[in-house]
Structure 1
């Protein structure tokens, strides 16, 4: 056989994405034709919901439906999808589970996906542009006369504070996470603020809600017992960032998510100059 006649595969051709970030990234790379199935929670990009079969939630998946799509690779996220991954692997499916929890790990995951589909150079260019923008935001934030204290709430009952990449993005945007010690915990159950009075004591200047799966209710936050004394409530600095823009560890958080954080911080800074 002539070695020159052997076609080298250019990565997986039939990909199932169990979470949104891989889907969004493949669309940005112009490789959406490779996607044959997506998470039912996908909202970015909007057209993905119209074009691709929905085969999973976050903690569960339709294994038979995934197998029927004949994927040659499945992308997933974290130990929370370990059971799904294990079942697919036992069925002979290649599964790649990423576990990115920080800004740097998000960059690494995105580059790996780009390389796997033969778009390493384009992926690197896009990631360098994202990093340049983050550095510009960080430089602008460093010139602010004051940094607001920020309480980012992923869930309200019980209150869960920011995961690591969100905490890091708050810092890049110009704020200081009021629960940095909890941000290091990868699991939501370990980021529960056990005593809500501690939030009052830390007195955030800004409260940002991103209640995954339901709308943030600032009036409900403001009505919490004792919260009338919190700076953010007194100054009406209660905001929502949609979970799709900040709580998926992929392109959205590094672009739209951090931009929204930065605008909120800049507006607060101007009001308190």
Structure 2
């Protein structure tokens, strides 16, 4: 009688950002998670099942050490200081830096390989990529495509990161700041001239102010914005940051679907769809 194979990969994982938590749940590997970010809202049960041990820029180092993780996974160079503290505490830390849709898929594959779930990951990825092609094909049939200004932050104004810009294209829109989308850091996507978004005449304005509510009336009242098509047609909308600004499953599914619904409504001159409301969360 053969003995069962030992479990593969890390068994006790702390996720410093939401996308890794959501991905491990989707893969059916949530039993490996021993700690999560306080900003996690996807999936909802994670907040009930797992202790919240970090914000984005810092965390409860002693509490994380007490959880005895064999791997801590985070995202972005902005977590470098937090990663340094955890490494100095003797933990294994892996920080990813994905910025594009292709890099998100690659990171999902790496995480899946770590936990022995590559086959499940490939099936999920194939389904998402097929949906993206369907959205592209539908948008190709429209007689017109909206010019989209996506605002990640308002003061100062920061435009769309690369994966959001790419998903706008998948959804049927045209990012009005494609040249800034190539910049990885938020500071390099700051729009120095507050009138420049208005000059680019967006048909849609989509706000995702990363942890606070988007205020369309505040945007519409900006000096020089009265004649912007999106303002004149009341096409200013919010997509929650948990649905679009996490470089993982949410953006590739719910995020792009919401972008597509807004682009489709504009292209076909339909009323804007209601966007699902999710609570903003904090550590």
Which residue is equivalent to 1:198? 196
1:160-239 equivalences under 5 Å are 160-239=158-237
Which residue is equivalent to 2:31? 33
SS in 2 for 1:168: helix
Q: Deviations over 1:117-166 (max 9, x none)?
A: 11110111011101110111111112211111100001111111000000
1:10-159 equivalences under 5 Å are 10-159=8-157
- Between the aligned partners of 1:145 and 1:95, the Cα distance in structure 2 is 49
1:267 pairs with one of 260, 265, 268: 265
Which residue is equivalent to 2:241? 243
- Between the aligned partners of 2:104 and 2:133, the Cα distance in structure 1 is 16
Shift of 1:8: 4.1
| Bigger share in helix | 1
User: Could you tell me whether the CA contact under 8 Å between 2:176 and 2:202 is conserved in 1?
Assistant: yes
- The CA RMSD measured in Å over matched residues stands at 1.3
Report the TM-score, using the length of structure 2 for normalisation: 0.92
Shift of 1:200: 1.1
Report the TM-score, using the length of structure 1 for normalisation: 0.96
Return 5+ residue gaps in structure 2 as ranges: 271-283
Which residue is equivalent to 1:256? 254
Higher mean displacement: 82-91 or 13-22: 82-91
Count of aligned pairs? 269
Q: Deviations over 1:188-232 (max 9, x none)?
A: 111111001111110100000001111111111111111111000
SS in 1 for 2:226: helix
User: Could you tell me whether the CA contact under 8 Å between 2:198 and 2:225 is conserved in 1?
Assistant: yes
- Between the aligned partners of 1:157 and 1:91, the Cα distance in structure 2 is 36
Shift of 1:86: 2.1
SS in 2 for 1:271: coil
- Between the aligned partners of 1:177 and 1:65, the Cα distance in structure 2 is 42
SS in 2 for 1:229: coil
Moved over 6 A (4+): none
SS in 2 for 1:228: coil
